[in-house]
């Protein structure tokens, strides 16, 4: 059975919930287990985010079955990212209330507002990932929301992962994934722009 459509989202949710249950069963319900799951769910989230973030660009650069599959399932991968990040958020809430020290000491207005805005973007982008809701806001508003929201979420992930690479090598692959994802977007944009310029020149001759 080929993994596609809502199966992607279903498998993602089951896998992340199973991971959380396994960690809590093995380690117990404590601060260390919760912190571990906060980190792991964030890593799942950033991986799914980059897949959705680069799906269209990868298909522009590489017309392969894999990139076609990625583009066709981009919305479901995006919803999977939102679901994984919702579980990540739930774990942060657990950490905040059950194990507040020293977690609350690192929270300030900038962190709360910046992170809160990211979740607003995730909610709006998820809600408008379907044909009916996308049609309600129109193509220009949809493109603006998903472009601005995508880059904003990328910036927050980068802000979180890049500084940590100095202290923990486990963050390096995910920081590299963010860099590669951005480069793919930039190269695809330049490629599409070059092709459009060639078409314009051909039509003017």
Q: Quick check: is 201 in a domain?
A: no
Q: Quick check: is 158 in a domain?
A: yes
Q: Which residues contact 152 (CB under 8 A, 6 or more apart)?
A: 117, 118, 121
State the average pLDDT for the chain. Answer: 92
Say whether pLDDT at 199 is over 90: no
- The pLDDT value recorded for residue 26 is 97
Q: Quick check: is 66 in a domain?
A: yes
Tokens coding 196: 């459009």
- The pLDDT value recorded for residue 203 is 54
Say whether pLDDT at 90 is over 70: yes
Averaged pLDDT for residues 71-100: 95
Check: CB of residue 151 under 8 Å from CB of residue 193. no
Q: Quick check: is 1 in a domain?
A: no
Distance, CA of 59 to CA of 51 (rounded, Å): 12
Burial of residue 142 (CB within 10 Å: 0-12, 13-18, 19+) is middle
The pLDDT > 70 percentage for the chain reads 95
Nearest CA to 75 out of 118, 119, 134 is that of: 134
Check: CB of residue 170 under 8 Å from CB of residue 150. no
Q: Quick check: is 111 in a domain?
A: yes
> Per-residue pLDDT tens for 108-121?
888 889 999 999 99
Say whether pLDDT at 204 is over 60: no
Q: Quick check: is 36 in a domain?
A: yes
Q: Could you tell me the pLDDT band of residue 200, with boundaries at 50, 70 and 90?
A: low
Q: Phi and psi (nearest 5°) for 137?
A: -95, -15
Domain that holds residue 182: 6-195
Is the link from the previous residue into 102 a cis peptide, with omega within 30 of 0? Answer: yes
Q: Could you tell me the pLDDT band of residue 202, with boundaries at 50, 70 and 90?
A: low
Q: Quick check: is 181 in a domain?
A: yes
Q: Quick check: is 205 in a domain?
A: no
Structural domains counted in the chain:
1
Q: Which residues contact 12 (CB under 8 A, 6 or more apart)?
A: 44, 48, 80, 83, 84
Say whether pLDDT at 46 is over 70: yes
* Chain position carrying tokens 């998903």: 146
Looking at per-residue pLDDT, the higher value among 205 and 110 belongs to: 110
* Chain position carrying tokens 């990212």: 81
């Amino acid at each position: 059975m080929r993994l596609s459509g809502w199966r992607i989202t279903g498998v993602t949710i089951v896998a992340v919930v199973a991971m959380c249950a396994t960690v809590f069963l093995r380690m117990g319900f404590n601060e260390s287990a919760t912190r571990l799951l906060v980190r792991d769910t964030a890593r799942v989230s950033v991986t799914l985010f980059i897949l959705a973030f680069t799906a269209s660009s990868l298909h522009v650069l590489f017309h392969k079955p894999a990139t076609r599959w990625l583009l066709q399932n981009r919305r479901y991968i995006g919803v999977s990212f939102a679901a994984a990040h919702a579980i990540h958020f739930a774990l942060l809430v657990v950490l905040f209330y059950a194990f507040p020290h020293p977690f609350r000491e690192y929270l300030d207005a900038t962190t709360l507002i910046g992170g809160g805005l990211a979740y607003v973007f995730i909610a709006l982008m998820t809600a408008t990932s379907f044909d009916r809701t996308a049609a309600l806001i129109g193509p220009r508003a949809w493109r603006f929301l998903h472009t601005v929201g995508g880059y904003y979420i990328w910036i927050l992930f980068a802000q979180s992962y890049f500084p940590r690479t100095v202290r923990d090598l486990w963050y390096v692959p995910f920081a590299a994934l963010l860099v590669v994802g951005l480069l793919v977007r930039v190269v695809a944009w330049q490629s599409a722009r070059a092709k459009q310029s060639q078409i314009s020149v051909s039509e003017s001759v």
